[in-house]
């Protein structure tokens, strides 16, 4: 098991451009989460999936944000028409829903986004 992976690790873009991030969860984990972390703050929940179903979206997730998990494996988070306020670290986590480790979320290394 290689843990949660995220790609890219860093992204610099110009305001108004679209960006897409990918997350590969731990292989046997059913749930996948996206969080956003700004400098000096704790992460804030954005959305989560159970298998391919998106079960909850935060009010933080504006219409410019969309997330998918088409086959219940990897997930993508797209930000359209980026704004400078979108600059943050985007964290992905995954968890199992059964077993001794249920509900424990394991995090990837994050994608750091800078919007110029």
Partner 1 sequence: AQTVTQSQPEMSVQEAETVTLSCTYDTSESDYYLFWYKQPPSRQMILVIRQEAYKQQNATENRFSVNFQKAAKSFSLKISDSQLGDAAMYFCAPNFGNEKLTFGTGTRLTIIP
Residues of this chain that interact with partner 1 (CB under 8 A) are: 31, 33, 35, 41-45, 48, 55-56, 91, 93, 103-110
Smallest separation, CB 44 to partner 1 (Å)? 7
Residue with Cβ nearer partner 1 (25 or 43): 43
Dihedral sign (CA 30, 4, 89, 98): positive
Q: 66: which 2 tokens?
A: 């969309």
- Smallest distance from the beta carbon of 55 to partner 1, in angstroms? 7
CA distance 101 to 5: 19
Q: How far is the CB of 2 from partner 1 (least distance, A)?
A: 13
How do the residues of the chain divide into helix, strand and coil, expressed in percent and rounded to 5?
5, 50, 50
Residue 84's region, left for phi above 0, alpha for psi from -120 to 50, else beta, is alpha
Tell the smallest beta-carbon distance from residue 103 to partner 1 (Å). 5
Query: With respect to partner 1, which residue has the nearer C-beta, 93 or 113?
Result: 93
- When the beta carbons of 97 and 116 are compared against partner 1, the nearer one is 97
Nearer to partner 1, 4 or 19 (CB): 4
Distance CA 34, CA 50 (A): 12
């Amino acid at each position: 098991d290689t843990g949660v992976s995220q790609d890219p690790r860093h992204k610099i873009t110009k305001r108004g451009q679209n960006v897409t991030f990918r997350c590969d969860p731990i292989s046997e984990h059913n749930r996948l989460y996206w969080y956003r972390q700004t400098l000096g703050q704790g992460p804030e929940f954005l959305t989560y999936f159970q298998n391919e179903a998106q079960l909850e979206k935060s009010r933080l997730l504006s219409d410019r944000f969309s997330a998918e998990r088409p086959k219940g494996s990897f997930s993508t988070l797209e930000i359209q028409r980026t704004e400078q306020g979108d600059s943050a670290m985007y964290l992905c986590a995954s968890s199992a829903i059964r077993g001794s480790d249920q509900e424990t979320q394991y995090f990837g290394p994050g994608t750091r986004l800078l919007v110029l």
